[in-house]
Structure 1
């Protein structure tokens, strides 16, 4: 029994193998002649059946859309801080005791307004002495010149010359005394807003001591960093849009005034300065700003993201022409949502495969399942 089973299984296996061979490669000529048919006809029968089935399924169903060109808006967002465009720190030019102040924090001052006065009694006395000496020398010069004009020989040319030199020295001493007296009064060098100060009447200041800061906040100078990839956005006079959490929803305008000529070796960014007009005085020096710059590119072909396919040579899109497709390489420039801006050697208005592109091969036949109006539509 075991021997019969083995023979049966062997015959069954040979039959299956022979059938598979005949289906795949056709029936041998000798066997076909025994069966009363040609090998070619026998072999062509299953192949023709398969070819007919492939012919029915060869066309790929895709969705097409027209190739359009649109501008892309480059947007750079960064943060920065600002200082007053015109600012100064007022310091004491001389030592002395404070006898009068007009330092009100956040108060507005005009250029030349008195901020404080130091004890100036010594300087006033020095000025009086210098003026008295000048007057005395002036009288001598006047008397000598009168004598000489009357033809008197009492006053020599040397004496008159020395008197005139003495007068010049006396006038210079008066000027020095006046400067020393003026230095006892500290005035605002610019117009602006006063900062906090701890100087009060009775304090004694040394030369060079800080008194108060003045900020002219009618214009601010914002400083921020721009990454290397966005250097092309930088031009002097370019508009920047500024916002701050302090005034939610409000946009302030400014323009670039200067930027660095080299990149930071660590951050790979360039430092940029922009002037921000602040006529209402709402913005304060030291605020942190969100800064935005925009620029529109030239029109570029734009396609749906689903239209992009990849192979060893890179990205590409499929163009449908007269029911068949061909692949066109593209260079991706920008992405935004489900849209991709590309550079491609393809005419605008061409029908491109928006969906179903992953199934395509060069020369593949396609049928249109639907149409899309455009990328992102």
Structure 2
């Protein structure tokens, strides 16, 4: 007596499972067709008629196993190169005095913004000032001697040789005054560029020389980032190409920039080319020395793009199933690039080919297939 309920249960499961499998598993449709069940289920509306759902696939409909296929799409090859580089200001200079002396005054503090010509620091210049005054007095005396000999030469009491010696002495005194004034000017340290002052290590009263760095001024209104790209794309990089920079400290913020310079040779050790990019820093939030990830995108030739599900693997490598003249064809491929939504490949497709994405497990080379439209 227990057999009858079990048979009823099995029958109910079959009534539910057969239509569901016919809808979701394309491989069951040929089995139902051979058993004579597919047509009644289609007529009753329980199972959809894939052969009449989409006009563009009707020409490929047959009595073979049903598959889902779509037209071949053509997309450009996009290559993105990422590299890490360190930033520096668009201009930077380390300042030191040209002479040795004792530091008398510091006119700036770390972090101050200065303009060209602003005084940064001063040395004790008393001796240099005395040298200028002495040279000025000597020049005035030599000028008077030269003028006097000029008057005497007109009366014939001074020789041309005396006047020539006086002229030489006058010019020498002028040069000595210029040297003294230059030495005095070297006791004042002025900013050669506009920018921000860095740390100042020496203190007032210290004895400094030309080898003593007083501070560093850096113009960070824009930043330069040096990075390297592989040799294989060295010929593709051009001055003016756009880049995207992301500071390692702020990974969510992307800054637009451009390439401003290229090295003139590929490094033989690393097989890479040094590239320099410029990024904006108008709000002064970035600092020199920060690490940046640089993304450089290239758009190459166009290639067929297929769904990742379409790619199969065999003994001879990767391939896809194509529907050509209503029959399945095995097309060898070479994978060029994997993206989030598709895969770019090299393949010998013909016009009108459809690429199979579902139902590949039932296909055989040269066999007729019934094409259903892709699911939406």
* TM-score, normalisation: structure 1: 0.77
- Pairwise CA distance, 1:232: 5.8
Structure 2 CA distance, aligned partners of 1:121 and 1:301?
Answer: 81
- TM-aligned CA deviation for residue 142 of structure 1: 0.7
Q: Shift in Å at residue 56 of structure 1?
A: 5.2
1:69 touches 1:348 (CA, 8 Å); kept in 2? no
> Whose Rg is larger?
1
Partner of 1:201: 204
- Partner residue of 1:63? 68
Counterpart of 2:95 in structure 1 is 90
Aligned to 1:129: 134
- Structure 2 stretches of 5 or more lacking a match? 1-30, 36-62
Contact 1:319 1:350 in 2 (8 A): yes
Cross-structure match for 1:281: 284
CA positional deviation for 1:139: 0.3
Which range moved further: 105-114 or 266-275?
A: 266-275
Matching residue of 1:371: 373
Identify the residue that residue 53 of structure 2 maps to in structure 1: none
| CA distance in structure 2 between the partners assigned to 1:179 and 1:112 by the alignment | 16
Structure 1: segments with no counterpart, 5+ residues:
1-52
Quick one: distance in 2 between partners of 1:232 and 1:308? 32
Q: 1:148 aligns with which of 153, 166, 177?
A: 153
1:296 pairs, out of 292, 295, 299, with: 299
Per the alignment, do residues 68 and 248 of structure 1 end up closer, same or farther by CA in structure 2, a change over 3 Å counting? closer
Quick one: distance in 2 between partners of 1:83 and 1:168? 47
Q: Structure 1 pair 261/184, CA: closer, same or farther in 2 (3 Å)?
A: closer
Q: 1:217 aligns with which of 204, 215, 220?
A: 220
Counterparts in 2 of 1:314 and 1:119: CA distance versus 1, 3 Å: same
CA distance in 1, matches of 2:299, 2:76: 6
Counterpart check, 1:80 vs 2:85: yes
CA deviation string 1:159-208 (max 9, x = no partner): 11111111011111111111111111111121111000122221111232
Aligned length: 318
**Residue 35 of structure 1: aligned partner:** none
Q: Give TM-score, length-normalised by structure 2.
A: 0.77
Mapping of 1:1-377 within 5 angstroms?
59-149=64-154, 152-228=155-231, 230-231=233-234, 233-244=236-247, 246-247=249-250, 249-264=252-267, 267-337=270-340, 339-347=342-350, 349-368=352-371, 370-372=372-374
CA distance, structure 2, for counterparts of residue 297 and residue 347 of structure 1? 22
- Separation in structure 2 between the aligned mates of residue 185 and residue 289 of structure 1, nearest angstrom: 37
Instruction: Please say if residues 324 and 352 of structure 2, whose CA atoms lie closer than 8 Å, have aligned partners that are also in contact.
Output: no
Which one is further off, 69-78 or 242-251? 242-251
Q: C-alpha separation between the residues in 2 aligned to 1:310 and 1:247?
A: 42
CA–CA separation in structure 2 for the residues paired with 1:226 and 1:358: 43
- d(CA) in 1 for partners of 2:34 and 2:269? 62
- Answer whether contact 2:83 2:295 (CA < 8 A) is retained: yes
